[in-house]
């Protein structure tokens, strides 16, 4: 069994064929799906999917791009749902910052405040984090080292920054997706061997980051199989063994998944 630990099935691009998407994934051995409800406007859709499909779970959080819309009271109404397995997708993203210096600092400050609140929330609830890190590795590392609880979490779409490997000692895992199959993924491929094997998990980030040879098309969980093949090749283990170990890792992190 493969667990897609990060797939945005609540995205409108799946509205017309979600059942077929899930069927295709199951045909490829993907039997569990985690929808990281990073956008409050699609959270209810994620919950609906989890209630309609036994295989679908979700998390509750706010993406750094939506930090200004962080509403903990609203999110709290879903946190006790039996299919909620984590806090996130949350984190820091400095890729699209304003051009004016004062606005840059204000945006970073807001993102950090919202991220810290979600870290502490996860710690209090004893839930893992799903963390988004983009051009912000140093700040993310510092905040997680200072505030994260023993439940740890996953660095979604691990960005190959070696400094973040320190977090493996704090029970953080590394989400590996379609980027590993890209021709220009040399940095990730070079770092991959340094990731502890018991901290690797599979994701797609569907509908984004579609793996080779389907780049340019909508991504979907069925392509976890392609990611697993590449991981097995780089780890020098049979794909079936790689799948078994990453599924074991995912269940250890997301304890509410059956």
Q: Judge if pTM exceeds 0.85.
A: yes
Residues of the domain holding 6: 2-253
What is the tens place of the pLDDT at every residue in 196-229? 999 999 999 999 999 999 999 999 999 999 999 9
Q: Count how many domains the chain has.
A: 1
Q: Answer yes or no: is pLDDT of 258 > 90.
A: no
pLDDT category at 176 given cuts 50, 70, 90 is very high
Q: Answer yes or no: is pLDDT of 38 > 90.
A: no
Listed in sequence order, the residues at least 6 apart from 53 whose beta carbon sits closer than 8 Å to its beta carbon are: 22, 33
| Residue 40 domain-assigned (yes or no) | yes
| Residue 166 domain-assigned (yes or no) | yes
| Residue 258 domain-assigned (yes or no) | no
What DSSP designation does 5 have? S
Rg (CA), the chain: 17
Query: Is 89 part of any known ligand binding site?
Result: yes
Looking at residues 22-35, what average pLDDT do you find? 98
- pLDDT for 98 equals 83
Query: 117: domain CATH number?
Result: 3.20.20.140
Query: Is 205 part of any known ligand binding site?
Result: yes
pLDDT category at 37 given cuts 50, 70, 90 is confident
Query: Is 214 part of any known ligand binding site?
Result: no
Mean pLDDT score of the chain: 96
Work out the angle between the directed axes of helices 239-253 and 224-235 (0-180°, nearest 10): 110
219 to 10, 37, 150, 153: CA distances (angstroms)? 13, 17, 32, 24
What is the tens place of the pLDDT at every residue in 73-97? 999 999 999 999 999 999 999 998 8
| Residue 204 domain-assigned (yes or no) | yes
Neighbouring C-alpha atoms within 13 Å toward the C-beta of 173: 28
What is the spatial distance between Cα 57 and Cα 124, in angstroms, rounded to a whole number? 21
Work out the angle between the directed axes of helices 137-147 and 101-125 (0-180°, nearest 10): 30
What is the tens place of the pLDDT at every residue in 150-174? 999 999 999 999 999 999 999 999 9
Query: Is 212 part of any known ligand binding site?
Result: no
- pLDDT for 99 equals 79
| Residue 206 domain-assigned (yes or no) | yes
């Amino acid at each position: 069994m493969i667990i897609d630990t990060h797939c945005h099935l609540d995205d409108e691009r799946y509205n017309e064929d979600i059942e077929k998407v899930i069927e295709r994934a199951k045909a490829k051995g993907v039997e569990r799906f985690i929808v990281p409800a990073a956008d409050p406007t699609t959270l209810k859709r994620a919950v609906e999917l989890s209630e309609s499909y036994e295989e679908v779970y979700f998390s509750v959080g706010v993406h750094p791009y939506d930090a200004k819309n962080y509403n903990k009271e609203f999110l709290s109404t879903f946190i006790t749902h039996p299919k909620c397995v984590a806090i996130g997708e949350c984190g820091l993203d400095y890729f699209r910052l304003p051009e004016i210096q004062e606005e840059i600092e204000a945006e970073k400050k807001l993102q950090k405040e919202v991220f810290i609140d979600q870290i502490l929330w996860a710690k209090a609830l004893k839930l893992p984090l799903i963390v988004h890190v983009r051009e912000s590795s140093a700040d993310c590392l510092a905040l997680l080292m200072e505030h994260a609880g023993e439940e740890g979490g996953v660095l979604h779409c691990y960005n190959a920054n070696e400094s973040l490997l320190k977090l493996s000692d704090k029970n953080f895992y590394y989400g590996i997706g379609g980027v590993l199959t890209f021709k220009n993924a040399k940095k990730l491929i070079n770092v991959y061997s340094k990731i502890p094997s018991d901290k690797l998990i599979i994701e797609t980030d569907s509908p984004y980051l579609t793996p080779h040879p389907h780049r340019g098309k909508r991504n979907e969980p069925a392509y976890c199989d392609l990611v697993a093949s590449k991981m097995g090749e780089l780890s020098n283990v049979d794909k079936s063994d790689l799948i078994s170990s990453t599924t074991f890792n995912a269940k250890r992190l997301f304890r509410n998944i059956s």
